[in-house]
Amino acid sequence: MVRKMGFYAVLAFCLYGLFFYWYLFYLADPKLPFEYQGTKADPATFLNGRELMLSEEYSKIRNLLFFLSTPFEWLFYFLILLFGFSRVFKRWAESSAKYKFLQTPIYLIWLSFFAFLATLPLNYISYSLSKTYHISTQTFPSWMKDELIDFWLNYGTWLIIVPVLYWLMKKSQKRWWLYGWLLSIPFTLFMMFLQPVVIDPLYNDFYPLKNKELETKILALAEKAHIPAQHVFEVNMADKTNSLNAYVTGIGSNARIVLWDTTLNKLTDDQILFIMAHEMCHYVEKHIYWGIAGYLLISLLGLYLTYRFMNWTVKRWGKELKISDVRDIRSLPLFFMIISMLLFAASPLTNLASRYQETRADRYAIEMTKNPEAAITSFQELTRSGLSQVKPPLLVKIFRYTHPSMLDRISMLEEYQIKNGK
Ligand SMILES: [Zn+2]
């Protein structure tokens, strides 16, 4: 029975992968609708033949990797349970820990370590692909260092969450999801507060803008939007990537706007001011707080569903998956698997909300800078430097796009340009 279930799970994963391969490489039509051909959103008007070909090719492979990686995680956790590895990790933890309180950290390190090993090949493929297409400029040691920081950061986070979670399960078999959710509120806010000052600097260097002339222009714009000057930062990314980006992060006194130095190196001042005005909208409209509120709301439902699914699974398949009791740490891979499935299932909704905020930010930015030519060319440059797809296939847009497609973004700007005669 166990081997049969394992076989079917692997088979299902392969069929799923084949479906997406067929969908992305054969079914999805990259051609632009007729009315967009020849417009400023048409990549044929601003990319050369080689860039066009590369961007299609690169996006297809990246999209495939995206759709494979999350279900691969589910498969991993499922097989860990099915073949009794979770039970083995627990036994190792029991036999090597002198004190009982060390058992969970040891169990967790084994599970994290194997999960890290299992996902490493896909992560490496993704990195080396990005390097082949000259998007990533990161050296292998630097990439590996980031992977290891990821590992320890995740381990540290789960080391705080997991013991509390299983303690709650033991205290209240029926309400642990609710108490867990209540505790997650201050925890989430605290992590969001620490993110820009403690976590992000582990990966990159952050500093005030180096170009003082540009800084003066940006701060003048920031003043117009009532953003304090000390909240604008530059980050050193040129050692890692060729692509361009800027973002808003942190809450409270740690809220800040961050510009990648690649963006500053490759765009003109007017283009940078448009990108900056876009970020300012996120800042002044407090999109991060809306995001946190939405996320907390969804996670309440998510934790309740996890509670229900875990109970159901252990009751129905407990024997095969070697979990006799939900409250036993051996059920942790099941918890991770269900959480990951729910997050994936919720992503069309969270992406939709994010795209709404992004559209607002684009509108705000063009109203503030009133320079559609700079705005359009900055998006064209963003497309070129990241070899991104202007018009992604529908499923890619639904599951992957936190921003509107470049087709939508550039078209909106072009409409503004025509309407305002600029
Ligand atoms: Zn944005």
pLDDT recorded at residue 97: 76
CA of 113 to the centre of ligand 1 (A): 34
Residue type, position 290, single letter: W
Going residue by residue through the chain (422 aa), what tens digit of pLDDT does each one get? Answer: 888 999 999 999 999 999 999 999 999 887 888 888 889 989 989 999 899 999 999 999 999 999 999 999 999 999 999 999 999 999 999 888 778 888 999 999 999 999 999 999 999 999 999 999 889 999 999 999 999 999 999 999 999 999 999 999 999 999 999 999 999 999 999 999 999 999 999 999 999 988 888 888 888 888 888 887 778 899 999 999 989 999 888 888 888 889 999 999 999 999 999 999 999 999 899 999 999 999 999 999 999 999 999 999 999 999 999 999 999 999 999 999 999 999 999 999 999 999 999 999 999 999 999 999 999 999 999 999 999 999 999 999 999 999 999 999 999 999 999 998 76
How far away, in angstroms, is 308 Cα from ligand 1 center? Answer: 36
Q: From residue 237, give the alpha-carbon distance in Å to each of 137, 147, 205, 207, 397.
A: 9, 16, 8, 12, 26
Encoded tokens for 295: 């996320």
Residue 231: predicted pLDDT: 82
Distance 400 CA to ligand 1 centre (A): 15
The vertex-222 CA angle with 220 and 227, nearest 5°, equals: 135
Distance from Cα 247 to the centre of ligand 1, integer Å: 7
Q: How far apart are CA 365 and CA 281, in angstroms?
A: 7
Q: Are 307 and 176 in contact (CB under 8 A)?
A: yes
Residue 289 structure tokens = 């707080």
CA distances from 153 to 18, 149, 365 (A): 34, 6, 35
For ligand 1, the distance from its centroid to the CA atom of residue 167, given in whole angstroms, is 39
Taking ligand 1, which is a single-atom ion, which protein residues have CB atoms under 5 Å away? 358, 361
Task: Establish how many alpha carbons lie within 13 A of residue 265's alpha carbon, considering only the half-sphere containing its beta carbon.
Answer: 13
Quote the pLDDT of residue 224: 85
Q: From residue 420, how far is each of 193, 293, 367 by CA, in Å?
A: 41, 37, 11
Whether 223 is catalytic is: no
Q: What residue type is 36 in one-letter code?
A: Y
Do the strands 232-235 and 246-249 form a parallel or antiparallel pair, or are they unpaired?
Answer: unpaired
Residue 117's pLDDT is what? 96
Crossing angle for the helix pair 176-194 and 287-321, to the nearest 10 degrees: 130
- Rounded to the nearest angstrom, the distance between the alpha carbon of 217 and the centre of ligand 1 is 20
Catalytic residue among 279, 358, 367, 414: 279
Separation of 283 CA from ligand 1 center, angstroms?
10
pLDDT of residue 108: 95
Q: For 227-255, write each residue's pLDDT tens digit.
A: 877 788 999 999 999 899 998 888 888 88
Sheet of strand 256-260: strand arrangement: 206-207, 232-235, 256-260, 246-249
CB atoms within 10 A of CB 3: 9
Neighbours of 162 (CB within 10 A): 19
pLDDT score of 262: 93
How does DSSP assign 335-381, residue by residue? HHHHHHHHHHHHHHHHHHHHHHHHHHHHHHHHHHH--HHHHHHHHHH
User: What does the block give as tokens for 16?
Assistant: 């799923």
**pLDDT score, position 156:** 95
CA of 250 to the centre of ligand 1 (A): 14
Across the chain, what does the average pLDDT equal?
93
* 26-62 pLDDT per residue, tens: 998 878 888 888 899 899 899 998 999 999 999 999 9
Neighbours of 338 (CB within 10 A): 21
Output the CA–CA distances (angstroms, integers) from residue 255 to 240, 286, 293, 402, in the order listed: 24, 10, 16, 20
Q: 282: CA distance to ligand 1 center in Å?
A: 7
Tokens at 87, concatenated: 């039970």
What's the CA-to-centroid distance between 354 and ligand 1, angstroms?
9
